[in-house]
Amino acid sequence: MSDTTQQPRRDRTHWLYLAVIAAVIAGILVGWLAPDVGVSLAPLGTMFVNLIKMMIAPVIFCTIVLGIGSVRAAATVGKVGGLAIGYFLVMSTVALGIGMVVGNLLDPGTGMNIAKTAGAGTKLADQAHQAGGTWEFVQGIIPTTLISSLTAGSVLQALFVALLVGFAVQAMGSAGEPILRGVGLLQKLVFRILSMILWLAPIGAFGAIANVVGKTGLDAVVKLGTLMIAFYLTCLVFVFGVLGVLIRVVSGVSIFKLCRYLAREYLLIVATSSSESALPRLIAKMEHMGVEKTTVGVVVPTGYSFNLDGTAIYLTMASIFIADAMGKPLSLAEQFGLLLFMIVASKGAAGVTGAGLATLAGGLQSHRPELLDGVGLIVGIDRFMSEARALTNFSGNAVATVLIGTWTETIDIDRTRTVLDRELPFDEQTMVDDVHAPRPQEPEKSLLPA
């Protein structure tokens, strides 16, 4: 009887991801052979992504409260946050620069006739302006009520309230232990619900892919193949070149092993074209890999709003492409001015649906209004471009978590290498690391639930 009780649970999640691949292939075929049917399946993809998004605020809240509440030194959080913001700004600028170089070297839009797509950008520009300016963005971080931060769907509002609660519980000392135990149980419940939702991924992937292929058709992908391939290759160079070298030099970690560790999250992102769908799993996996809860809880959610490397590359190359395609190329001075605007605008529009496309339209309207009509050309392939954007953004946040952990000495590098070498597998059943060994930086008497 005891042998049966101690027998480890069989991991069946690999069947889920095989089902996702099959669903993607089926979706492409349906969208290609029966476009009207493919377009009608769009709600399947939308509903799945909405299910994932509804869990993001609770995941962030629980993770940050547990992370901050379990450490005694509040200065640790401030140091992590300051380093993270500084790093995000630098890397976003580097990404924009790389996109500018590649865009100018290739000139993928030269010689194209996009007159038929004119007039499709105004609506997207209006969407970008709805995000407001800098002050509106800052003001929007403060929720209407404490509870609304968990229901409004704003990542930054949930982060802000979680920080307040975490510091408050931390200041309570031993009196805050029951609260942390309750939040710990709530976190397990949230992750359990999320693991149930993920079993619907094949349905969501099927609907999303069938819809986009049904709308654009295979011809649209072929015609704009040069831009797409160039963008994908640029993202690969950025991830494996820039980020890969950086994480190897600073932390001694292989970018290839890290990507292998996050392979299932990449597949989920490809299926949904949204890096948000993998945010809860990234938090869980970074903690399992040896990064302290405090660092993960601050860097990952903040990075999802401020560390948009893939979006930065996309904005640069798309702007140059549209200008060349319309026969009105941007001068270097105009490119720098436009991209400086987009560095800020991409942060403010982070919470807007289709933020990349909306920011592109808003930037062109504010700097070169005559190019706005060219956005219609990008709309047809934006869904395919968004996959590379999401993958690059996700990779950038994973690398940032390891780097910030190294600089602040809040990562167990030995554990990291053990996990990346597949000697300590991640618990796919619950996404909660219940058997995590104490880390050297954690206090002897942790406030975390046993």
Nearest-10 crossing angle of helices 279-288, 42-69: 40
Confidence of residue 260 (pLDDT cuts 50, 70, 90): very high
Q: Do residues 415 and 289 make contact, with C-beta atoms less than 8 angstroms apart? A: yes
Q: 31-45, 85-99, 315-329, 343-357: which range is least confident on average? A: 343-357
Q: How far apart are CA 170 and CA 211, in angstroms?
A: 48
Confidence of residue 244 (pLDDT cuts 50, 70, 90): very high
Q: 91-105, 221-235, 285-299: which range is least confident on average? A: 221-235
* pLDDT over 70 at 362, yes or no: no
Q: How far apart are CA 66 and CA 426, in angstroms?
A: 20
Give tens-digit pLDDT for 363-402. Answer: 676 667 677 666 666 655 666 677 788 889 899 999 999 9
Residues 6+ apart with CB under 8 A from 87: 307, 400, 403, 404
* pLDDT over 80 at 241, yes or no: yes
**Per-residue confidence (pLDDT) for residue 361, from 0 to 100:** 67
Q: Is 252 helix (H, G, I), strand (E, B) or coil?
A: coil
Q: 207-221, 241-255, 312-326, 400-414: which range is least confident on average? A: 207-221
Q: Which residue from 107, 108, 115, 102 is spatially nearest to 374, judged by alpha carbons?
A: 115
Angle at alpha carbon of residue 269, lines to 264 and 275, rounded to 5°: 120
**Per-residue confidence (pLDDT) for residue 363, from 0 to 100:** 67
**Per-residue confidence (pLDDT) for residue 214, from 0 to 100:** 79
Give tens-digit pLDDT for 99-156. Answer: 888 877 876 655 555 544 444 455 555 555 555 555 666 777 788 888 877 777 666 7
Query: How many C-beta atoms lie closer than 10 Å to residue 212's C-beta?
Result: 27
- 392-431: string of b/e by CB count within 10 Å (b at 16+)? bbbbbbbbbbbbbbbbbebbbbebbbebbeeebebbbeeb
Between 10 and 67, where is the model more confident?
67
Q: Do residues 364 and 356 make contact, with C-beta atoms less than 8 angstroms apart? A: no
Length of the chain: 450
**Per-residue confidence (pLDDT) for residue 261, from 0 to 100:** 92
Q: 216-220, 284-288, 343-347, 439-443: which range is least confident on average? A: 439-443
Q: 14-18, 196-200, 314-318: which range is least confident on average? A: 14-18
The DSSP H or E segment spanning 213 is: helix 201-223
What pTM does this model have?
A: 0.65
* pLDDT over 60 at 275, yes or no: yes
Mean pLDDT score across all residues of the chain:
74
Between 63 and 285, where is the model more confident?
285
Q: Do residues 423 and 257 make contact, with C-beta atoms less than 8 angstroms apart? A: no
Q: How far apart are CA 80 and CA 72, in angstroms?
A: 15
**Per-residue confidence (pLDDT) for residue 433, from 0 to 100:** 44
DSSP letter assigned to residue 328: -
Q: 91-95, 151-155, 185-189, 351-355: which range is least confident on average? A: 351-355
What's the token pair of residue 58?
Answer: 């609770």
Range of 164-178, 210-224, 421-435 with top mean pLDDT: 164-178
* pLDDT over 90 at 440, yes or no: no
**Per-residue confidence (pLDDT) for residue 329, from 0 to 100:** 76
Range of 48-57, 165-174, 253-262, 422-431 with top mean pLDDT: 253-262
Q: Do residues 47 and 267 make contact, with C-beta atoms less than 8 angstroms apart? A: no
Each as own residue / partner, the long-range contacts of residues 120-123 (CB below 8 Å, 24 or more positions apart, any chain) are: 120/373, 120/375, 120/376, 120/379, 121/361, 121/364, 121/365, 121/372, 121/373, 121/374, 121/375, 121/376, 122/361, 122/365, 122/372
At which residue do the structure tokens 């780097």 appear?
Answer: 403
Q: What is the DSSP string of 343-406?
A: HHHHHHTTTSTTHHHHHHHHHHHHH-GGGGGGHHHHHTTHHHHHHHHHHHHHHHHHHHHHHHHH
Looking at the DSSP bridge assignments, the partners of residue 291 are 411
Q: How far apart are CA 214 and CA 210, in angstroms?
A: 6
Give tens-digit pLDDT for 303-321. Answer: 876 777 887 888 888 888 8
Task: Report CA-CA distances (Å) from 349 to 132, 253, 278, 353.
Answer: 8, 32, 20, 8
